[in-house]
Amino acid sequence: MVEQGKSITENHLFSGNIFIFHAFDVGEDINLEKIRHSGIITPRSISLPKYFKNYHIPLAVELPNPPANNHCISAKIHNFGSISLTYKIPFTDSLNNIRKNLEKIDDYFQEQSVVDAQSIFQHINSMILNPKFFQMTSSYVVIQVDPEPNVIDTVQLKENFGSLIASTLRFETENLSEFQKNEILASAIGYFRGDLMVIDTEASFLYDAEYEEILDFFEFANIQQLELRYFDRVLDQQLNIIYEDKVRSVPFSSYLPFIGMSTKSTVDELGKLKVDISVITERLEGSIKLGGEPYFSELYALLVDKLDLKGWQEAVDKKLSIILDVRSVLQNKTDAIREDLLTVLIIILIFIELVVGLLNYATAGHH
């Protein structure tokens, strides 16, 4: 029971942790087995929840030469070309102070994550296909507060601190409008009585003591968003090339029968790009299996909605469809020109054979 008559003010001290998830796209493909057996970086044991399928098990590693008091609790290398980092910052403070300082904390760990990710990248870049530090980055913040069931329940928490929570999740230092506040808090969920979870676009609030298992969902959704945004940008670049007609400058050797089939053409590059992106996006989308777990299903569905993962996926699918159409047109054009060249070649050979035959006939008649 909540203690009656005990006043709860904005300066009430809560304890908990701020978790910051960072992900970096550093290349097209990373050979995890080679890294694991190379000894260039120290691997760590990893125990992902049963909800994650085997083909998405990353390689957990120790940070090379971490600074003193480093808050990084997890560093992982993912085979599709990403590095993810998780930071844990414990606190005992008022939610008002958390709101004031959150952006400063986030900025500090943005900079720290670049340093830490680069230290990993420098050790493994020889085992990355087309390495580049870094092509894109993504981050997400989770504010976890330890419940105090004898002091404040979830109803009081929403009533007394709803405005603070909503504005904090938007990195605002002033209260939001009533409409914005209600919209953010409307998606709040909880599993056990006394739990509260508010998920938003850039940050989430957890009033929950048993939070460890669900942190993987936030990390994974952040990585999903990173990869989808990266693929969206890659496809935009390809479409710009197409719109600028660069793709039409197909080398003449591509049209030659037999020879053209062995050379790498624009059509082949577009086809490979489509396959690579399709495989990774489908695996990312199907990496979590949540049958019979309604709470985790609801949590992940909210993350998919708030991070607009379906929107990014649809944008990628649409651009892949355009790439496929362009590839089909180019392939048809190449095939047609090859057929024409083959026809011309046959006509030339027939003509040469006819000329040779006539010359032989004329020479025989002369003798």
pLDDT averaged over consecutive 10-residue blocks of the chain (367 residues)? 55 95 95 93 85 79 86 94 96 96 97 96 94 94 93 89 95 93 89 81 93 90 93 87 62 51 57 79 76 81 92 90 78 75 86 86 71
- DSSP H helices in the chain: 32-38, 95-124, 154-169, 178-185, 212-243, 259-262, 266-285, 294-306, 309-366
* Per-residue pLDDT, 1: 43
Tokens representing residue 252 in the block: 């003449």
What is the value of pTM for the model shown? Answer: 0.83
Residues 229 and 233: their CA atoms lie apart, in Å, by 6
Give the residue among 317, 308, 307, 242 at the shortest CA–CA distance from 280.
317
| 134 preceded by a cis bond (ω within 30 of 0) | yes
* Per-residue pLDDT, 2: 47
Collapsed DSSP state (helix, strand, coil) of residue 317: helix
Q: What is the DSSP string of 249-291?
A: ---GGGGSTTHHHHS--HHHHHHHHHHHHHHHHHHHHTSB--T
Give the residue among 93, 92, 109, 83 at the shortest CA–CA distance from 19.
109
As a whole number of angstroms, the longest Cα–Cα distance in the chain is 130
Which phi and psi (to 5°) does residue 264 adopt?
Answer: -80, 120
DSSP bridge partners of 204:
142, 199
Buried b (16+ CB within 10 A) or exposed e, 302-321: bbbebbebeebbebbeebbe
* Per-residue pLDDT, 187: 83
Tokens representing residue 28 in the block: 């097209």
Residue in the structure block whose two tokens are 């506040």: 181
* Per-residue pLDDT, 280: 81
Q: Are 132 and 27 in contact (CB under 8 A)?
A: yes
- Those residues whose C-beta lies under 8 Å from the C-beta of residue 361, and which sit 6 or more positions away, are none
* Per-residue pLDDT, 250: 53
- Compute CA distances 336 → 26, 76, 247, 342, whole Å: 40, 49, 17, 10
Residues 162 and 122: their CA atoms lie apart, in Å, by 44
Give the residue among 180, 342, 200, 184 at the shortest CA–CA distance from 261.
342
* Per-residue pLDDT, 192: 66
